[in-house]
A and B are shown apart, each in its own frame.
Chain A
Amino acid sequence: MYRHGDLLIKNITEFPNTRLVKSWVENNEVILLRGEATGHAHKLKGDFTLFRDKDNTHYFEVHTKAYLSHEEHKRIDLPAGKYTMIRQREYTPKGIEYVRD
């Protein structure tokens, strides 16, 4: 697994039931997450297909190669494979919330 700021990219073997949200094309690019205060974005670029499940969790399959980019974090290259994206979270007495930046 890879940590890219407040995102964890985890290698998985199979996708759960998902629906396609973006078709694969060469030189694909998508914003996985954008900071609400900073406006900075975690972007996924390369040859991949993006999926999303009913809970809005993102999954993607890298067909050949892809990489993560962000204004303040170094590039992370991802080899071919299936991945899921996990957002960092925080505890509050009222419940669990995603980390916001």
Chain B
Amino acid sequence: MSEIKLPITNATIRKLKYISKNISKLNVGNKNELWLATSGSGGGYDWSQFDVGINTKGEFTTCSQSGCSCNSPEAPIANDTLPLKPGLEIIDDSYDNPGTWLPELIKVSDTLYDVLKGKKVSAETVINLPNAEIRRAVIEIIGMEKFIKDAKPDVLDDNEIHGSLLKVKLEGDEDLTLLHVKDPSTTREYFLRVPPNMKTSAQARAWTFGIEEKDFNLIKET
């Protein structure tokens, strides 16, 4: 299959890096495992085994050459171009269905797919995503600052250890009360929805584990 070269923007490089770091680890079904299969089971992401490019529409596609390393994470920066296979979607070249065009990038979540393609999504849509990890990934792509600006929360409590307790007013619906926490191991930030009667971050965090604030005495956390 022929290849084309395209200029790569900072935005697409950012997306490519993001995918290499995060999305490749997602593992939620056969269709997506095709996409993941070439990353190996050791936890790392081997770009020499799975070559990904970005097409003219900013979507992701793969290089068809076996063992091609032209799409290594450094390549877009070094050359400012990527060898691409014409097409719109990811294909898998090395798993059960060689050459099969997958119908969409990764059908983990429509919202995740939308934001990867640069589509705007509302803070309410993001908050209502049922999977906390996908919610975090979407917020990371949108940008924390932009997400909070869009959500316009009131800060009920701000605690160095237990995080921030936020309230977002929703028209015609129950207010959202969110605990904004940073994981100390990964430094990733999460928004967890808690009951609307929560008053403090510590109370809310203890609630997420089903215990009273006075009993929430950690020896160690990671």
A-to-B contact residues, CB < 8 Å: 1-6, 8, 10, 35-40, 71-76, 86, 88-93, 97, 99-101
Asked if B185 and A91 sit within 8 Å, CB to CB, the answer is: no
Asked if B222 and A36 sit within 8 Å, CB to CB, the answer is: no
Bound CA span A28–B67, Å: 39
Asked if B208 and A76 sit within 8 Å, CB to CB, the answer is: no
- Partner of B211 from the list A86, A91, A101 (CB cut-off 8 Å) is A86
State the Cβ distance, A76 to closest chain B Cβ, in Å: 6
Chain A to chain B: the 7 pairs with minimum beta-carbon distance, closest first: A39-B27, A3-B221, A101-B133, A74-B222, A8-B209, A37-B133, A73-B185
Residue of A nearest to B32 (CB): A37
Chain B interface residue count, CB cutoff 8 Å, equals 33
* Interface hit among B93-101, B148-156, B192-200: B192-200
Bound CA span A51–B52, Å: 45
Asked if B132 and A101 sit within 8 Å, CB to CB, the answer is: yes
Bound CA span A91–B192, Å: 8
- Would you give 28 A-B contacts (Cβ < 8 Å), ordered by A? A1-B218, A1-B219, A2-B219, A3-B218, A3-B222, A5-B222, A8-B211, A10-B211, A35-B133, A38-B25, A38-B27, A38-B133, A40-B25, A73-B186, A73-B222, A76-B220, A86-B210, A86-B211, A88-B208, A89-B209, A89-B210, A90-B132, A90-B192, A90-B208, A91-B194, A92-B193, A93-B174, A101-B131
